[in-house]
Structure 1
């Protein structure tokens, strides 16, 4: 999805706890002439998410699309109904 959005001229921020995988994705996009930045963060920790969002907002001046594909399991409730702990 990031590659498709990047080709549509979106700036991409890859946020991942796995630095090696995140850097690999970042470099792959950059090697294609696309705009991307990697931020190492554990998205299960609210403070890390807030710092990552702040960094992205300061770098790009906005966040237009957010794709969250991190997760451990399915609770049966929508994302709006879940707590931070879930």
Structure 2
């Protein structure tokens, strides 16, 4: 809920669990949208930032959430 430990919570009482899932996709993936009125749109993260009136508050908070995570990009060319 918080990106930091709130001052009223002791450090030894922090209950946080992080689960990381690694999903390997095929080179070509097809997304099936179940509802006909749903669109799948590719949007850069900088367009999502602070744009809650267009994308909604949850989607607009993705850049802030992702900025707290360290990503290691591993290409398929080893």
TM class, shorter-length: under 0.3
Structure with greater helix share of residues: 1
Report the TM-score, using the length of structure 1 for normalisation: 0.24
Larger radius of gyration: 2
Which structure's relative contact order is higher, taking Cα pairs within 8 Å and 6+ residues apart?
1
Structure with greater strand share of residues: 1
